[in-house]
Chains A and B, each alone.
Chain A
Amino acid sequence: MLRNFLKNFQDIMFVEKISMEKAFLQKIDPRIKLFAFTFLIITTIFSNSIISLFPLLIVLILFPFFSNIPFKFFFFRTSIFIPIFAAIISLPLPFITPGNILASFNLNGFFIIITLNGIIKAINFVFKIWICVAALTLLILTTSFSKIINALQFFKIPKLFILMVALTYRFIFLFIDEAYRMILAKEARTIKKQKKIEIMKNIGSIISNLFIRAYERGERVYLAMKSRGYSKDSNLKIEVGTHKNDYIFLFIIIISCVISLYITFLSIGGIS
């Protein structure tokens, strides 16, 4: 079960072939893409109503169609983990937010009230999270990792942070593979059905072993980097190119963000 999870996790999280496609978003300069999606996320944070989120939602739903991204895959990827987690976090909101009462219950003297404002606030919160996750997912799916690194360098993100991100990306595959091999080796020697407590024990020992291996590999990688002249001033050098569609893309994002902000400031959304 665990090995299936690891393999599927790797397949779902790191689909690089999509970034190799020659479609609309894939052709956009990574620096412009990074800037635009960051701007979109900031706009999302400032929006105070569901209506103000609509322009952003439309843009994010339309982009996958023009970028050869299977929508089902995109929806699945953006709707698991974080948005579901956000939905769980926002569960108390309908009960604790003051506003128009939609329903009330009396449970042995305890009055439970559900408000319309609370439900809208919860939905708003989940949508906001989904938009942020979708924007980042689109960025990752349509941009090769080296180009994202390059864009981060362009925006003067600290070198150490960039190097850490690059190394994490490089070695996450290695560790998933290593964990996968360890689990396979464990399964190969597991004959009778194990009790849950035994499974948990095994997983614990695999994880601790993986940490030790990670530490040892970290040491070896550092030595390999040092031998090739790595210092704190070292930089990863990558070339990027620009495309004519860049401005169209930027225009679409800015327009949708401006509309969203306009709606927010006019408070057309009403209930926030």
Chain B
Amino acid sequence: MLAIQINNVKFVYPNGNVALKNINIEIEKGERVALLGPNGAGKSTLLMLIHGLFMPTEGSIKVFGIPVNKENFSKIKSKIGMVFQDPNDQLFCPTLWEDITFGPYNLGLPDDEVIKRGKNALKIMGLNGYEQKPPHHLSIGEKKKAAIATIISMNPEILMLDEPTANLDPKTRNELINYIKKICDEQDITLIIASHDINFIPLIAEKAYILKQGEIIAQGKIVDLFSNTKLLIEAGLEPPLITYFFQLLNQHIFDCPIMPLPLTIEEALNKIREQLKNKH
């Protein structure tokens, strides 16, 4: 079943800036997809369009077969949860608990269900005990986790994350990646991540669209796209370090090139083991 279907979408900002054009995307239910591209490529705008917060200038978008338009906005927002890039935009209530229950209350859920969902979201994101904390007292990592918790409590069928790892230290970044993986594993959720930090993408997503200046310049499986370092560099992205390193090894060291290129440390270890085994 198609979760998201985007046909020939074009979006022009009121100031005349063409943010997106010729966008065609199909995402299956349960798929984990990355929207990759440098700053200003149109990733965040595309997420806004999918959510119905912006309306396309041309073309159409469907979420689970429902056309995204003003009439269907309530239906769409009950299916999609979007985590904004800056958690300060997302956390606007006096305490974290109010922020987490804001969405479920707006879905019209009864009090006991709201409390159940709120507690569950706090547990999933490891924020137990933070209920009464004002958001301005949280660290940036905690704010990011809290912003995701505010969406998890709405039980969305599609989760969209805009630059989830931006401004995070390595430890918090890894923690957050694990939390996102946990959410995806435990719940049958369709995941869309917009990012230019592509080192963590192979850990979460299986498919990607690469955007450049508002257009999709490549799409396909992560393993295929990331093996093409030339394409990534042309798109203004930095290939994953391990992939780039193995490409150099293939060119200068290995007699028998390793293909497809490994995307993670674990994959790289396995490839080296295989290589050594074959030699012996």
> Are B106 and A229 neighbours in the complex by a CB distance under 8 Å?
yes
Taking CB atoms and an 8 Å cut-off, the chain A residues in 167-212 that contact chain B are: 167, 169-171, 173-174
> Are B92 and A171 neighbours in the complex by a CB distance under 8 Å?
yes
Shortest distance in angstroms between B23's beta carbon and chain A's nearest beta carbon?
Answer: 20
Total CB contacts across the A-B interface at under 8 A: 88
* A220 CA / B101 CA spacing, docked (Å): 20
The 7 residue pairs across chains A and B that have the minimum distance between CB atoms:
A229-B106, A228-B103, A146-B94, A173-B136, A220-B89, A224-B90, A145-B94
- Give the nearest-CB partner of A239 in chain B: B97
User: Is B82 part of the binding interface, using a Cβ–Cβ cutoff of 8 Å?
Assistant: yes
> Are B106 and A234 neighbours in the complex by a CB distance under 8 Å?
yes
* A236 CA / B134 CA spacing, docked (Å): 14
- Name 22 interchain pairs, CB-CB below 8 A, sorted by A: A144-B95, A146-B93, A146-B94, A166-B92, A166-B94, A170-B92, A170-B136, A173-B136, A224-B92, A225-B102, A227-B77, A228-B103, A228-B151, A229-B77, A229-B103, A229-B107, A231-B106, A234-B102, A234-B106, A236-B93, A237-B105, A238-B94
**Which A positions have Cβ atoms within 8 angstroms of B?**
16, 144-146, 149, 166-167, 169-171, 173-174, 217, 220-221, 223-231, 234-238
Which residues of B sit under 8 angstroms from A145, Cβ to Cβ? 94, 134
User: Is B226 part of the binding interface, using a Cβ–Cβ cutoff of 8 Å?
Assistant: no
* A227 CA / B92 CA spacing, docked (Å): 13
Which residues of A sit under 8 angstroms from B74, Cβ to Cβ? 229
Which residues of A sit under 8 angstroms from B134, Cβ to Cβ? 16, 145, 170
Which residues of B sit under 8 angstroms from A226, Cβ to Cβ? 53, 77
User: Is B165 part of the binding interface, using a Cβ–Cβ cutoff of 8 Å?
Assistant: no
Asked whether A217 and B154 contact (CB < 8 A) given A16-B134, A229-B77, A229-B103, the answer is: no
Among B92, B95, B135, B154, contact of A225 (Cβ-Cβ < 8 Å): B92
* A166 CA / B99 CA spacing, docked (Å): 12
Asked whether A237 and B106 contact (CB < 8 A) given A167-B92, A169-B94, the answer is: no
